[in-house]
Structure 1
């Protein structure tokens, strides 16, 4: 007998959180702001939805209102956070592909980090502010899913909320295509630059390009799908600030059999939370098995075995053993968060 969908999601979302946490350390060391923000936002989303799927499994009780407020604000931020992180990555790839030299001064590196933070953190904060304008009540609670932000379907909602991912994805697509074209036109010069610099290696550059292109191929179609689906659901005229927020303190509780029998509503909720898990697994597929990842797995495994007095000589050449032991250690370490 297959496990219920909610329990299955709980397991996969926690694994997604762990997979985002594993490569974070060495990306922080390398000042890869875009990829670090991608991991942080994706991992935070997976962890939050994992907790929600446990706490509200089989119930719709209004537990811990402050947490519900925080959770729904993070959901709103995630509407643009991951596309914004992809934009940061593609901007960096574009600058590398079109640069005459890849060495940057410390001031230029700090400026690049600040710019990425303004995009990867500033845009999600602006999205939270913009969504409040069209928010009808404090939040909704869906059985098995947990708290969800509330929004009314007006023309202003599409401008302030639904259009943002598509707009950001389109800009990111421009940078991505331009970077790919520049890369192939200047491939020889690019290889020379990579071989004489301490910046991103050619393999990491291609992996960044791959994950950015994959994310764009998901963002624009999904964003368009939500715009079309919500437009078909019926758009109401904007009644003004007072009318929209007249019942803002209300908390709407929705039973599972109601929202699960609404294909559009159920599809939107499931797509949202499973897309976070997909982002986590895709990211780890690109960055969890690269050369630098394997080096860190070796370091972690060697450190652990040296502490317990176990010799690593019997595992020479066994890369899979390093990876498995490192993953197990990370899972055990993160499991304490839920104990």
Structure 2
């Protein structure tokens, strides 16, 4: 069994997430760059897993699965933390009473974003080992899957934090919307003077993107949290949870996906990154700046392509007939040179008082010139 649509959309979403990257890199918006990074991680792992385990459940890439399992734990937190970084920056810009930010303020803001978007998810990935009962699972058609001993400890260590960051991001988002509405008259001037690299359109797009991310991520993360709270298992001891830790459990599709909990825990989270990548592209991949970037790419590529070579051996005719004249070649004759023919025509025309047919003969051949009189009525 395989999910062709998921694999296809994951591969397409890799491209969609990469296209706006140059514009966002020049804008130095750390929140959107972090979001692109986590979306690429989610799409690449989903795409590769879908290809490698298309119709298989063999453990052919254990190291890859170890990496994917840990990244899948940090992925929800990384995405929600990126949304938090975006909304937090919008509030900082909109609520600023100074014209520009100092270099120290920018460095502090960047360090906070890097902690929220990179360091914090890594800490959660490391903490997950405490509630990881065995190495990983493999599902036919979907590939590697992280395993978690569902307990109070796992809720505190892993499951809770994406919900917390989503809620904080939602609060910042509401503040950003309120500040935008209350200061909308002078907002363009404020953004320009703050040297943030944003205009009012960028601000609205970022605000809308973060809002959509929160509206999608918060229900999914809350659902996972509620499911964990509903059926926790006792955490007896470290040795009991990690007994026979190196084992890998393989699930054929015919047995695994008949259960609703497996579908909700394995299939649904994998659509998270492709869906958000498409939404991200719709907000930033079709903007005026992005379209200009694509146009420059096309111009750069076409300028490097080889131009059609002219045929060097192509000879242009020495005499080109003009409208109103016809040059006929009699059988068995040879053409005169262009200059000789023209001189003969001039002489014969001067000596003749009548206009009509001019006949010229030579030892080499005959050229006949016919001049047609036209009168426009």
TM-score bucket (shorter structure): 0.7 to 0.9
Match of 2:43 in 1: 46
Contact 1:18–1:43 (Cα < 8 Å) also in 2? no
Measured on the aligned residues, the alpha-carbon RMSD in Å equals 1.6
Contact 1:139–1:150 (Cα < 8 Å) also in 2? yes
Match of 1:324 in 2: none
Residues 162-189 of structure 1: per-residue CA shift (max 9 Å, x gap): 1111111011111111111111111122
Match of 1:114 in 2: 111
Alignment pair present for 1:210 and 2:220: no
How far off its partner does 1:278 sit?
Answer: 0.2
SS in 1 for 2:235: coil
Distance 1:44 1:154 in 2: 27
How far off its partner does 1:123 sit?
Answer: 1.3
SS in 1 for 2:98: coil
The correspondence of residues 156-235 of structure 1 with structure 2, limited to 5 A, is: 156-199=153-196, 200-232=198-230, 234-235=231-232
Alignment pair present for 1:252 and 2:252: no
Residues 71-99 of structure 1: per-residue CA shift (max 9 Å, x gap): 11111110201001001101101101101
Task: List alignment gaps of at least 5 residues for structure 2.
Answer: 308-377
How far off its partner does 1:36 sit?
Answer: 0.5
Cα distance change of structure 1 residues 102 and 276 upon mapping to structure 2, 3 Å threshold = farther
Match of 2:345 in 1: none
SS in 2 for 1:147: strand
How far off its partner does 1:107 sit?
Answer: 3.2
Cα distance change of structure 1 residues 56 and 102 upon mapping to structure 2, 3 Å threshold = farther
Distance 1:197 1:88 in 2: 18
Contact 1:96–1:102 (Cα < 8 Å) also in 2? no
How far off its partner does 1:134 sit?
Answer: 0.6
Match of 2:331 in 1: none
How far off its partner does 1:52 sit?
Answer: 0.2
Match of 1:332 in 2: none
Alignment pair present for 1:89 and 2:82: no
How far off its partner does 1:202 sit?
Answer: 0.9
Partner residue of 2:258 out of 257, 261, 285: 261
Task: List alignment gaps of at least 5 residues for structure 1.
Answer: 311-339
When normalised by structure 1's length, the TM-score is 0.86
> Which stretch shows the higher mean deviation, 208-217 or 248-257?
248-257
Distance 1:102 1:36 in 2: 25
Contact 2:39–2:277 (Cα < 8 Å) also in 1? yes
How far off its partner does 1:109 sit?
Answer: 2.3
How far off its partner does 1:309 sit?
Answer: 6.7
The correspondence of residues 290-329 of structure 1 with structure 2, limited to 5 A, is: 290-308=287-305
Give the number of the structure whose alpha-carbon radius of gyration is greater. Answer: 2
SS in 2 for 1:239: coil
SS in 1 for 2:28: coil
Distance 1:5 1:58 in 2: 6
* More helix by percentage: 1
How far off its partner does 1:197 sit?
Answer: 4.8
When normalised by structure 2's length, the TM-score is 0.78
Runs of 4+ in 1 over 6 A off after TM superposition: none
Contact 1:38–1:82 (Cα < 8 Å) also in 2? yes
Residues 179-233 of structure 1: per-residue CA shift (max 9 Å, x gap): 111111111222221244542111111000001001111121111111223344x
Task: Choose between structure 1 and 2 for higher RCO, CA contacts under 8 A separated by at least 6 residues.
Answer: 1
Match of 2:279 in 1: 282
Alignment pair present for 1:36 and 2:33: yes
How far off its partner does 1:20 sit?
Answer: 0.6
Distance 1:307 1:105 in 2: 43
Residues 13-54 of structure 1: per-residue CA shift (max 9 Å, x gap): 000011111111221222111101101110121011100001
Distance 1:81 1:221 in 2: 16
Residues 225-250 of structure 1: per-residue CA shift (max 9 Å, x gap): 11223344x32111121211122111
SS in 1 for 2:271: helix
